Structure 1
Amino acid sequence: MSRDLIVFGEDFGGLPSSTQHIVSRLAKDRKILWVNSIGLRQPKFNTNDVKRAVGKLLGLSKRGYSSESRPHPSNITIVNLKTIPAPKSTWARTIAKTMLLTQLKPIIDKLKLVNPILWTSLPTAADLCGHLGETAVVYYCGDDFASLAGVDHHTISTHENKLANIADLILGASPAICRKFDSTKTTLITHGVDYELFSQSAKRASDLPSNGRPIAGFYGSISNWLDYELIAKICLSNSNWDFVFIGPIELGYNPLPNLSNVYYLGPKPHHQLPSYSQHWDASLLPFKLNQQIMACSPLKLMEYLAAGTPVITTPFPALERYKPYVNLVNDESEFKQALDDVMVKQKGNSEIVRSESWDARTQTVNRLLESL
């Protein structure tokens, strides 16, 4: 019998993370207790942070990527717990730990979990390890948390070091992440793709521009890993193109250029994204090569390729194996040339990533869990 899972991840729903993709598939054979985000950083004195901190103290979940999310598998129980986000001091960590254990233990008893494995994608769950009756600890590291903007890097590194020592198995999403940990218990699990969703024909989204101009599009978080200086130059110098951006704005302002050919469509449900990416003419990854991008394995790269639309991207390490299948650019002139090129080339071949499905990734993870 497969062992059940206690999972500490982001808030379930909305735009699914790699953890959600894998755990949702693991739920076919086991019960899952999913704990919505217990926080990665201490709040600052601004409106958004205060609202989120109060939500965590009251056990309320942050809304997902959009207001529409699909039902989760029946084997997954999702809970919101009252906590102190990313506790820093010893006394705060002790209080947060006590708060979480007091709420969690009755839920675990009620669910009658079978020899559960504690799976965490957040370093801040380190203090709970060894206190929930788990038979093993798995740390799934999908990001270089030490390079995330707005995070107290010292506090997170302290939590992560403790977690890495305790964990029986560490799963890293990129080679750069894996190099941070003990190689004897670390395995590379690169991101996969929901191949069926993105490769099967989808109806064109009604809010895509219909000006007769080609469309270049991006979806994902509008955050500090995008090169807004390059984006502004490209949008300004290519007035014969429309540029579409989809996703939540994670900065305190909208950094996108205010131009007539730039469209910000807001966040969209994950299952609707093929209605956009299949029907624009170029998929964009205009990343700024910061420390986070150096270690990342972007989910959207795989989804763009599965959609079969030409990809224009700036360079980053995880791109290496897919270089023959994308348009790699370094500056404005190369970007402009790539836009011209995609209009005369055939669409991409989605078969490139057929074998990179989340189903295949989950089979590998399942074998690793059962070997613990």
Structure 2
Amino acid sequence: MTGGLRRVLFLSHSHAFRAFRVGSHHYARELARRGAEVVHLSTPISHVHRRLGRVSHSEESRVPRGPHRDRDGVTHLVPRTTMPTPFGTLTAGRALRQHGIDTRFDAVLIDQPLLWDDSVRGLSDRLVYRPTDLYPAGVKARMQKDIIAAADGVTATSGEVLRGLGPLRQPHLVVGNGVDTEHFVASAESERSDVCIYVGALDRRFDWQQVCAWAQARPRVRFVVVGPSPEPPVPLPENIELPGGVAYSTLPTLLHSARVGMLPLSDDPLNAGRSPMKLYEYLAAGLSVVARETPVLSDDVSAGLFTYSDEGTAIAALDDALSHASPNVAGVGRARQQSWSTKTDLLVDFVLKLPRR
């Protein structure tokens, strides 16, 4: 149930027409399935981004122009602009009105600081900031301060992200990322072969050096690194495979072929606050997990999560994950406790208790 949340707007950093799914996509789906009218407005595709090659023609061609209602009933809107946000003239309110979308909502949830403008506060009596990352400096940090000053409540995806905001005057809550459990759980199966897999972005927060070290130390193990346009900065051992990006719909089949899910986080400071969605997707798919230890991620041996703190402990953590029971039934149980349905219950309860302006 959505209570009094009949119309909800998400202002999100990521659109839903690429392989990745982020938290706002899952919350939007859950709320729409419960009967709410949900609009998901994400970061515009700008002419500047196209000219700089940050958005390819093929990627843009997959993104509808104008509102697109998906099978769950969520209306997605990805504006096209000349300048990237926040440097252009487009505002959230103007983007909605241009496409005939009513601009009054029972709640607005924003996770993209760059989508903040003065019109947002007037879209609803309940404004919730839902930070998913650390913004220590720059434009996003400055705009985040403005959002916090205007927001009625804050729900962060990790305790580390919440602490990064500093003292808050308004109600606040940590709601970590969840998992679409039924999408990933496998039917009855036998023990899996020694395949380690990573699925996700291959940016500066991914530790190529660590994956290479694992592959060199365990040459009989296959290491599969799945992500769009992989460009490894180092030569790769022969037992590392790069199949490219995969669709979200086909991801479970790929994960069910592996034994271990990898979260090789680099030493980038922004990794400290991450609540990686892949953790619970791996566990739900029956994998054990090897991950770099962070303030958010630590050992849970009974559930098949093994962490390392440096190069000296990384090989042992990988070996523990490889020797863990397969499929990882205990991990599936932990993942079920983190379903997006449960997370949505927490979010709705929090929003409905906020004072209305």
TM-score strictly above 0.5: yes
Judged with a 3 Å threshold, the aligned counterparts in structure 2 of structure 1 residues 130 and 19 are, in CA distance, closer, same or farther, namely: closer
Instruction: Give aligned pairs, total.
Output: 335
- Residue 260 of structure 1: CA displacement? 1.8
The CA distance in 2 between the partners of 1:255 and 1:220, in whole Å, is: 17
Q: Does the 8 Å CA contact 1:27/1:73 hold for their aligned counterparts?
A: no
Q: Aligned match of 1:302 in 280, 289, 303?
A: 280
- List per-residue Cα deviations over 1:72-122 (Å, max 9, x = no partner): 3453222222333133xxxx46x233xx54332243xx4446644222110
State whether structure 2 residue 9 is matched by structure 1 residue 6.
yes
SS in 1 for 2:290: strand
Task: Classify 1:329/1:63 alpha carbon distance in 2 versus 1 (closer, same or farther; 3 Å).
Answer: farther
Instruction: Look up the equivalent residue of 1:365 and give its one-letter code.
Output: L
Which residue of the other structure, out of 154, 167, 170, is the alignment partner of 1:170? Answer: 154
Task: Report the residue type matching 2:143 in the other structure.
Answer: H
Secondary structure of the corresponding residue to residue 360 of structure 1? helix
Find the aligned partners of 1:96 and 1:194 in 2 and give their Cα distance.
33
Q: CA offset at residue 263 of structure 1?
A: 0.4
Structure 1 counterpart of 2:29, from 24, 27, 31: 24
TM-score by length of 2: 0.82
Does the CA contact (< 8 Å) of 2:196 and 2:258 recur in 1?
Answer: yes
SS in 1 for 2:53: helix
- 1:369 matched residue in structure 2: 351
Q: Which residue of 2 aligns with 1:102?
A: 94
- How far the C-alpha of 1:344 sits from its partner, in A, is 4.1
Residue in structure 2 matched with residue 288 of structure 1 by the alignment: 266
Q: 1:141 aligns to what?
A: 131
Counterpart position of 2:208: 228
User: Which AA in structure 1 matches 2:222?
Assistant: D
Q: Is the 8 A contact 2:186 2:256 kept in 1?
A: no
Map 1:51-200 onto structure 2 (within 5 A): 51=55, 61=60, 63=62, 72-83=70-81, 84-87=83-86, 92=87, 95-97=89-91, 101-107=93-99, 110-112=100-102, 115-130=105-120, 132-146=122-136, 153-179=137-163, 180-181=165-166, 182=168, 184-200=170-186
CA distance in 2, matches of 1:317, 1:130: 32
Deviation at 1:197, TM superposition (A): 1.7
Q: Single out whichever of 226-235 and 325-334 deviates more from structure 2.
A: 325-334
Instruction: Using structure 1 for the length normalisation, give the TM-score.
Output: 0.79
Distance in 1 between the 2:121 and 2:104 partners? 16
Residues 217-274 of structure 1, C-alpha deviation per residue, up to 9 Å, x if partnerless?
Answer: 1111111112222222221232111110111247xx3336433211001111223222
SS at match of 2:206: coil
Shift of 1:5: 1.5
Q: What is the aligned partner in structure 2 of residue 244 from structure 1?
A: 224
Structure 2, gaps ≥5 residues long? 64-68
CA separation of 1:321 and 1:127: change in aligned 2, threshold 3 A: farther
Q: CA deviation at 1:336?
A: 3.2
Deviation at 1:289, TM superposition (A): 3.1
Structure 2: distance between partners of 1:353 and 1:183 = 33
Tell me, yes or no, if the aligned pair for 2:28 and 2:74 is still in contact at 8 Å: no
2:299 and 2:158 mapped to 1: Cα distance? Answer: 12
Deviations 1:259-308 (A, max 9, x none): 32110011112232221222212211111232211011100111112222
> Which residue of 1 is the match for residue 308 of structure 2?
329
**Alpha-carbon distance between aligned partners in 2 of 1:297 and 1:183, rounded to the nearest angstrom:** 24
Higher mean Cα deviation, 232-241 or 18-27?
232-241
Q: Which residue of 2 aligns with 1:264?
A: 242
Tell me the distance in 2 between the aligned counterparts of 1:45 and 1:274. 32
Q: Answer yes or no: is the 8 Å Cα contact 1:18–1:191 preserved in 2.
A: yes
